[in-house]
Amino acid sequence: MKTIKMMTGSLLLSVLAFYCYGQQVCSAAFLDNKIVVNEYTPTGKCSLPLNARGELTVATAELSLKKSKPVENLPFKIAIRDENTKTLTMFSGENYRKIEVQQVLVKCKKGDSIVLLTLEKQYALPHNEILVK
């Protein structure tokens, strides 16, 4: 059973990497160089606790089954989606390459989402919404 899961995971990762590199360059959100998404698949989810600390970045990603790491930091904007109204509000007009996540989380409440926006359409950011727990 474990072998089947590994093979399925490898296949999904290969298909996603092929899609991203065939169309756009894959990127991901990182907190202190650790990928935020729980799994880099179409069903992967991003979440952070309200008290998280560290440097939030968006970067092109070197993906593998064992470890994913950032390669090149990309410019991005930040918005916050309100849990109740689903209203999307710009965090600031600035473009970022990195930001201390607490600067963003202080404007959030549990249930809100941090939405990361790429500035160039050549970069795919499939896991762009981070749930605040």
pLDDT at 67: 81
Check pLDDT > 80 for residue 25. no
Q: Supply the pLDDT for residue 24.
A: 62
Q: What is the pLDDT of residues 31-80, one digit of tens each?
A: 999 999 998 889 999 999 999 999 999 999 988 877 889 999 999 999 99
Confidence of residue 89 (pLDDT cuts 50, 70, 90): very high
Taking the complete model, does pTM exceed 0.85, yes or no? no
For residue 89, the cross-strand partners are 80
| pLDDT value at residue 5 | 45
Residue type, 10: S
Task: Note the Cα 69 to chain centre separation in Å.
Answer: 12
pLDDT at 26: 86
Angle ∠(128,131,133) on CA atoms, nearest 5: 160
Model confidence pLDDT, tens digit, residues 98-122: 999 999 999 999 999 999 999 988 9
